[in-house]
Every structure is written in C-alpha cells, then in structure tokens.
Structure 1
Amino acid sequence: MSTQYKVVDNIAVIEIANPPVNGLGHAVRLGIVEGVDRACADAAVEAIVLTGAGKAFSGGADMREFNSPKGGREPGLNTVLSVIENSPKPVVAAVHSVAMGGGLELAMSCHYRIAAAKARIALSEVTMGLLPGAGGTQRLPRLIGLEAATHMIVHGGSIASEKLADSGLFDRMAEGDVVDAAIAMAKEVAARPGPHPRVRDMQVKHGNPEGFIAITRAAVEARAGHLPAPQRCLDAIEASFSLPFDDALALERRCFLELMNGPVSKSLRHAFFAERAAAKLADVPDAVLERTVERVAVVGAGLMGTGIAMNFLGAGIPVVLVDVSDAAIEKGRATIRASYEAGVQKGKLQQATLETRMSLLRTSTGIGDVRDCDLVIEAVYEDMALKLSTFCALDEIAKPGAILATNTSTLDVDRIAAETRRPRDVVGLHFFSPAHVMKLLEIVRGEKTAPDVLQTALAVARRIGKVAVVSGVCDGFIGNRMIAKYARRAGELLEQGALPEQVDRAVEAFGMAMGPFRMGDLAGNDIGWAIRKRRYAEDPAHPRFEIGDRLCETGHFGQKTGAGWYDYEAGQRKARPSPRTRAMLEAFWKEKGVTPRRFSDAEIVERLVYALVNEGAAILEEGIAARASDIDAVYLHGYGFPTWRGGPMFYADTVGLFNVRRSMRAMAQGDPSWKPAAIVERLADEGAAFNA
C-alpha cells in the first residue's frame, strides 16, 4: 500500500508509505488524492494531516518514472498539489527527517506546515539537471523571500529545518512527536473560519527583484558552464514576481519538461542511478552477513597509504600505519597531520576533530602489529615481487577471518591471493590518488574472494564515503585498463603530428577534467612508464609508446621534476607548452619519415572517447564489469569524465551505437586495432544501447 489512511480524534491522517524515501510515484500521488477526497467527504473529519512513514516525509519524485508512461499519468504532482491547496478542510504537513524536491513542494501546497528538528530540507532538482517542476520556484519565494529561495533552488543544497524555523516556511517547530503536534495544530486551525491560507495567494516581496535576478544571472552564467538548469531556474523564479501564478506555473512546467527531455538531465540522472546500481551484486544477496571491521591496518606509509588511512580516521575507525623505517613512519604521520591542519586553516575542520582523528592513529615499523586488525590494506610500491612478499608475511601474522586487501592498480589479484593460504579472504581495494579525496573505490573480486568479503568491502566503502564499483581480475581492472587504451590513442596522435597542448585542449573542451598529457604530468609520467615496461617484458608484442618512453628516459616525469610534456616554473602547477617537447616530437617525425597531419578537435575527441568505449565494451564482454553503468561510474568518479555526459558508455548510447560503430569501422580501415568489439556490433545491429 502506497499510502495509509486513518482518523485520529476527528483528524484524518494520510501517511505516505513508499520506502525507502517515500517517493511520489503514481500510486502515491493517487493515494494522496483519494485520501483528501475521502476526508473531505466525511462530515466527522475536521482537518487533514499529511505525513510520511518511516525515515522520510518525502524525498520527492520517483525519477524512475521520468520519460515513462507512468510519469505522465494523472494525477500528476501539480494535480495533487492543487487538490490539497483547494481542500475546503485545512491540511497540515507534518514534516520530518527528509523533505526534498517534490516532497517540499508537497508540503508547501498544504495550508500549514509543522516541522521536526534536524529534518533535511531542499529543492535539489538542479543537481539532476532539472528545476522544481511542481510550483517550487513559485511557492518558495513567496514563503521565505526571493533571495533565500533563489539560493536554495539554484544551488540545490539541503538545510536543516531548525535553520528555517523563522524563515516563513514553517508555521511551527514540533517539540515532541511531529505527527502528534500536527494533529493538535489541525484541531486548532479547524476551529478557525476559512478560507485557509494558500501560498499561491501570497506575493513575492523584494525591493528590486529585477536587479537581483540580473546580478544572479551573471554569477550563474560564470559558473554553470554546460549546465542549462541553473539559468532555467532563474527564468522560473523571475516569473514568480512578473507573471500571474498560473501563468508562472505553466512556464515552470515548460522549463521542467525541456530539461527533463534534454541530454544533460538524462546524463545526470543516469549517473545518479549508476552510482547506486554499482553497489549491488546479483550473486551476492543482501542476506550475506558482512564481517566486523573495527580496526584497520595500512601497510605502506607513502602518499597512497597515508591517504587510505585518512579515510578510516575520518570515519572514526582506529588505524595502525606500518612501514619499514622510523623515518617513513614519521613522514607519514606528519603528512596526515599537515593535511588535517590545512583543513583547520581553511575552516573545514575543527581543531578538536583533528586531535580526535590523530588519536586514532597508531604507527609501527613491525608488521606484527597488524595481528589484531580486521582489515589489512597493503599499499606498498607497485611491484609484484614486493607485494607477494608482503602478503606472504601478512598470511603468517593476520588473525583468522581478517580481510587482506591489496591496493594494486594493475597487478593480478589472483596471483597475490595464491601467495596466501586464505585466498577467500583476499580482495583488491584500489583507491585513487589522492585517496582521501577521490570518491572512487574499485573493489577487485578475485576468483576465490568470498561473498561475505565482498559484502564487507561494499559496506566499508559506504562507511568511508566512497563510490564502490566491483571489477573482475584483469590487467588494470576497469579504469586503468581503459585509460591505457586512451593513452595509447593519445600517443598515436602525437606520433602522427598533434601536439600535447592541442590534444589536451580538445578533450578539456569536451568536458574532461584534464587532458591525457596534463594528467600524466600530474600523476608522474614514470608511473605509466613502469607499467609499460612491465607489459613490454610480459608481452614483447605489446604496442610501444616510444615517444613517452623517450620523454621518461630523459627524466622528465612531470610536475615533480619541473618538466614533462609541459614545462613548469618552480613552485607552480601551471602547464606551459614546452619547446623541448616540440623539438623532441619534430625529431621523432623526421626520424620516422612522418609528415605531420592536422587534426580537428572533433576528431581528437572521437578517437580518445571511442577508445574508452571500445575497451569498455570488451570489459563487458569478458564479464570484468557487471553492467555498462558500472564503467560509467568508474569514469565519472575516478577519471574526470564530465558528469553531464553520463560516462563513456552512456555517451556512446547518446551518440547512437550505429554511429559509433561507423566511426570505428572507418578508423579500422587504416588500423585494424580499431575493429569494433563484438558487443558494439551486436547492439548496433539490434538498434540497442549499452545502458538499455
């Protein structure tokens, strides 16, 4: 049942019962209308209380219904709000826990509102590339004022209900149970002569509303970039004081539908659902119990190890940080403290919180100190021999049932697990640098990794605020396997006549956070070089990136050496086109007899993005990733792919796989390695999509 109806002391209570967040799907909308009609038809009912069961008043619209037949079925949300607003009997919203998006719009349509403390209040549609589509842009400015409402709508962040106590949004704050308080309030207002107040009848008050909107438009234009929703929000908000209510409501709805059907909102909604889907494994049911993780060890106190440790310290979990020398340990501890102190200086962290976190950190030069830990994460240098010896030692020392995790970014997790007598307890936890900042965590599932270990890894990811994606075992897993192909295609562009700054500029204009050569300089070109040398040794036929190897042979590793693909002034991170790199490229072209060709930005983007897509397709075929949206989540949260494009696989769906395949086939005429993956061929033939 989507709503529940009962009468308490002559007050009808309509309770939304659609867990987990009481989304306003069609069945809920119908239930609310039927409840209001039932209450109005009952002469014994004096007033109505509207609330939500469980952990939310309402989290808003059910986005799964967008662009579907259910989404357009009446009663739509605007119809529901009109029924409430025009009820002859007063309706009191009892708001608790969460009132966001359509949930807040629902509350604002009621005649009165009472809120519990600590409820999270928001009109957050802009984060999904939308605007409030059921009167939010019209009613909120009337209740809390134009400037406060504009800030809430354009930024989309949530606010604690108690901070809005005197804003005009709520008539009262409940001191006890919010439903009991709402029933008492309903009895009180029912005794008043009607008509009861409607927000639509209020006026937006501001000394110079046109001037305020004009100034805000300029600020929004400067920061919104490719996102159309913030400007559309302002269009609708402007209508709240410039048009009659019903006309403004119609304009708001037109803007909402335009955004909902546009590519940016579809991409952002895909990203939202991809993140949630990635945490679910079809063959690991929720009933599988996770293991207890109360103490964590991190082996390796370098930048990666310290970053990993900070994730757990921030979540209140004690950590023992282990390395081979006192100097390494002291440097690691100092790195962690310095990072927290920077947070204090910026006002992002309290000094007391810093001290609490540091008190949870224990350091040691003896690997024996991991023996009481529930989770041990190896974060030593990316060398198989070193990792094998580390796991051999951990196998001897760690307690039974402890999870042994490797942070390897490319190496064979099954080979590492085989070094132990407990391969079921071994899993990959691939953090991304800087580990305490980057949201992505690749959980690498070994051939023998136990289901409860996977369940625990997913739970740990949630505790430390990561977006977790499960990958199978292969060289580079999901993210780095694909980025290797991306880097290879970027290198081919240089070999054929492009310059690093042109390649980077093109993909950054597409929306990537950083181009491949700036990214290499930032991470350290020696890291990729080490991986390439390992692959050359393992497979002499592996394609060679000769220009990249030559760059590294000269010691030009990027920002840390002051020179890489670009040049850097001392203490500066700004990448400057390098005459040295250009001379190296010109010498290479001459040596190889290459006549440099010109590439358009569109061709550069197509080559690099389709390299990701084709390798992602191969990863799907092999079962390394469970679903295309998992690949999108990896690239959105770990590699700077533009969220408003939805990830590489969703972007390919947007372009159309017929068109993607056509481009790949054209490139394959000159280079057979561009042959489309089998799944691309099949889906293109079927007129289907990766994310169908």
Structure 2
Amino acid sequence: MSFTESNRTSQKMSVNAVSCENRNGIGLVLISNPPVNAISSEVVAGLRGALVAFEADANARALVIHCEGRTFVAGGDIASFESLEFDTLPFSALLTQLDASPRLVVATMHGTVLGGGLELAMACHYRVALPDTRFGMPEVKLGLLPGSQGTQRLPRLAGVPLALSLILTGQSVSASDALAAGIINEIAEGDPLAIGVGAAERLVHAKTQPQRSSSLKIAVGAATTQALAEAGARAAKKPAYPALGAIVRAVEAAVNLPFEAGETVEAREFDQLRLSSTSRALRHLFFAERAAARIPGLKGDVRAR
C-alpha cells in the first residue's frame, strides 16, 4: 500500500475497512466500518498499513484521519472482548506509532468520539471537531476501563479531576466542553474531511510542530490529590464494581509514573477486568438488551404502525 502520487492528484489504496491516499501532499486515512466505525482487528490492521505507507511517502507533509458515515470511531468491537486471544497491544502499539510521528497527524471528528475512538484521537497531534460532536469514555458501563492509553492520555490533556469524572461515570461531553478542557484543539463547521485537510495545510504552512499528548506533564496539586483520594474512597465502598478501583489505580499511574510504565499498569488492569465475572455479566446484558429490541425474522427497516 502506498501514498505515492501518480499522474493524478491523488492515488487511493484500500485495505478492508481502511483506505488511504495522498491528496495534494496531505496524507488521508479514511475509516469505513459501519455502522459506528468501531475499532476491530481489521481496522487496526488497515490503520497500521496506512501508517507504514505514510511514513514511507516523503511527499506527504501531514496525515489526516477521518471516518466516513455518520460518526467518528464510536468505540471498540465489544464482541471481540470475549476471545481468550484478545489483546490491547496491537491497537496501543499503533497509537504509540501515531504519537511518535515526526510529521503532524490530525484527527477530524464528527458524531460521537467514544472509547477507542477518543484514544485514537488523543494519539493524534491536533484534533478538530464539528460543533455537535460528543466525546466520552463509556467503558466503565461494561465493567472495564479504557485499555489503549486512555487513562494515560486523558489526564495529560484535561487534568486529573475531569479525566477521572469522565472515565468513572462514562458520561460524554460536548465539543465546546472538550475544547475548554484541552481535549480538542478546534471546533469548525462544514464537511469534516475538508475541515481536517484545511487544518493540516494551515498547520504545515505555519510550521507547527507535533504536540504529543504522551509527553505532556500532569499538573499535580491540591485538586489532583483531592480528586484521586475521593475517587479511591468511593471505589472502596463498591467492591462489587472492580473497574472503579482499577480506574483510580491507572490514573494514579499516569500521575506518578512515566507514560510507558503507566500504560503497562493500565493494560494489566484492563486484562483483569475483561476476564472478571462483573464485566462478563455487564457485556452479556449489553448484548441481551439489544437482542430484546429485535423481533426475529422482522427486517430492521420495517416501520411501526
């Protein structure tokens, strides 16, 4: 797979749910995995191939990641969590590679940016979103925590109090709140792909250097200490929900350890939670609720009277 331009203005290559092209010197990675562009093994493999192609193309001055359809990546493939072979490492390694890119990587977002989608965006150097985009980390609702650097990047971007609140509750925030918190860099109206390309061209022209969320320092003060203490106390009162304590420990690792060491803590906590009876039960309930809403043999496009 190559980004190299041919005689046309761009050359597009496709790998399963991910395609890439060079559009007049800006590399584009397009994710198309309907209905919600969930992170799957196929998507991770496609992103890895696209990133390798981008790194090999000296003519691509920056990279833009965009999702086709009604939303940016809105989470991971929950069904894959049931596999004994499931591993967060491939996706996390991809995010580390994105973060380390010497050329700018821009995420252009719309719809909902949740879980693995927010982890993907936070690994990029610049994040621009449509005004009605929403952001969140809902993993706790499945008895889990963000397993691909989410507990390490979000505190570095938004601070510990807000990061803990979002990860522990699973609630989402608006684009304006995300901008104010430092989770994203810009809000713009229009076509998200055009917005992303425009932002990349503007940043390249201004010779803007990549801002890597992994290298940001976490402000450690009274607010951080209090937020961790209060979250730990609440988690201790709910031992039946082990994800709460695991989230606090992972965020504490982000505060106290280098990024790579904190990532190791997060991965270990995620694996233990994924195999726990609590998370298995919540995931079963997640799928059962959706199955109950369907009538066997009835097509999904049938309208109620």
Query: Is the pair's TM-score, using the shorter chain for normalization, greater than 0.5?
Result: yes
The Cα of 1:3 is off from its aligned counterpart by 1.1
Q: 1:73 to 1:126 in 2, by over 3 A?
A: closer
CA contact (8 A) 1:84 1:91 kept: yes
The Cα of 1:178 is off from its aligned counterpart by 2.2
The Cα of 1:33 is off from its aligned counterpart by 1.2
Residue 249 of structure 1 is matched in structure 2 by 263
Q: 1:100, 1:139 → 2: CA distance? A: 14
The Cα of 1:225 is off from its aligned counterpart by 5.1
Alignment partner of 1:32 is 2:47: yes
Equivalences for residues 308-457 of structure 1 within 5 A: none
Residue 128 of structure 1 is matched in structure 2 by 142
Residue 200 of structure 2 is matched in structure 1 by 186
Residue 9 of structure 2 is matched in structure 1 by none
The Cα of 1:266 is off from its aligned counterpart by 0.6
Residue 51 of structure 1 is matched in structure 2 by 66
Q: 2:75, 2:303 → 1: CA distance? A: 31
Residue 283 of structure 1 is matched in structure 2 by 297
Alignment partner of 1:271 is 2:290: no
The Cα of 1:70 is off from its aligned counterpart by 6.2
SS in 2 for 1:165: helix
Q: Quick check: which has more Rg, 1 or 2?
A: 1
The Cα of 1:194 is off from its aligned counterpart by 7.1
Q: 2:103, 2:82 → 1: CA distance? A: 35
SS in 2 for 1:99: strand
CA contact (8 A) 2:140 2:169 kept: yes
The Cα of 1:29 is off from its aligned counterpart by 0.5
CA contact (8 A) 2:155 2:254 kept: yes
The Cα of 1:73 is off from its aligned counterpart by 8.4
Equivalences for residues 34-113 of structure 1 within 5 A: 34-68=49-83, 71-72=86-87, 76-113=90-127
Amino acid at match of 1:11: I
Paired residues, number: 289
The Cα of 1:251 is off from its aligned counterpart by 0.2
SS in 1 for 2:22: strand
The Cα of 1:195 is off from its aligned counterpart by 5.0
The Cα of 1:219 is off from its aligned counterpart by 2.9
Q: 2:100, 2:252 → 1: CA distance? A: 25
The Cα of 1:27 is off from its aligned counterpart by 0.5
Amino acid at match of 2:184: F
The Cα of 1:192 is off from its aligned counterpart by 5.0
Deviations 1:594-634 (A, max 9, x none): xxxxxxxxxxxxxxxxxxxxxxxxxxxxxxxxxxxxxxxxx
2:32 to 8, 17, 28: 17
Q: 1:88, 1:70 → 2: CA distance? A: 33
- Structure 2: segments with no counterpart, 5+ residues: 1-15
The Cα of 1:11 is off from its aligned counterpart by 1.0
The Cα of 1:78 is off from its aligned counterpart by 0.2
Q: 1:100, 1:264 → 2: CA distance? A: 21
How much identity, in percent, do the aligned residues show?
A: 33
CA RMSD of aligned residues (A): 1.8
Q: 1:137, 1:291 → 2: CA distance? A: 42
The Cα of 1:49 is off from its aligned counterpart by 0.5
SS in 2 for 1:4: strand
SS in 1 for 2:202: helix
CA contact (8 A) 1:36 1:87 kept: no
The Cα of 1:102 is off from its aligned counterpart by 0.7
Q: 1:4 to 1:215 in 2, by over 3 A?
A: same
Alignment partner of 1:197 is 2:211: yes
TM-score by length of 2: 0.89
Q: Which moved more, 1:139-148 or 1:202-211?
A: 202-211
Q: 2:304, 2:127 → 1: CA distance? A: 44
Q: 1:232, 1:69 → 2: CA distance? A: 21
Deviations 1:623-654 (A, max 9, x none): xxxxxxxxxxxxxxxxxxxxxxxxxxxxxxxx
Deviations 1:559-597 (A, max 9, x none): xxxxxxxxxxxxxxxxxxxxxxxxxxxxxxxxxxxxxxx
Residue 179 of structure 2 is matched in structure 1 by 165
The Cα of 1:188 is off from its aligned counterpart by 2.3
Q: 2:101, 2:36 → 1: CA distance? A: 26
The Cα of 1:93 is off from its aligned counterpart by 0.4
Q: 1:69, 1:128 → 2: CA distance? A: 17
Residue 7 of structure 2 is matched in structure 1 by none
Equivalences for residues 202-241 of structure 1 within 5 A: 202-208=216-222, 209-222=224-237, 224=238, 226-241=240-255
Alignment partner of 1:177 is 2:191: yes
The Cα of 1:90 is off from its aligned counterpart by 1.0
Deviations 1:329-354 (A, max 9, x none): xxxxxxxxxxxxxxxxxxxxxxxxxx
Q: 2:163, 2:137 → 1: CA distance? A: 9
Amino acid at match of 1:219: R
SS in 2 for 1:7: strand
The structure showing larger relative contact order (alpha-carbon pairs under 8 Å, at least 6 residues apart) is 2
Deviations 1:187-223 (A, max 9, x none): 122245575111010011131333431122223434x
Deviations 1:200-258 (A, max 9, x none): 10011131333431122223434x35111111100101111111111111001000000
The Cα of 1:66 is off from its aligned counterpart by 1.0
Q: 1:253, 1:195 → 2: CA distance? A: 29
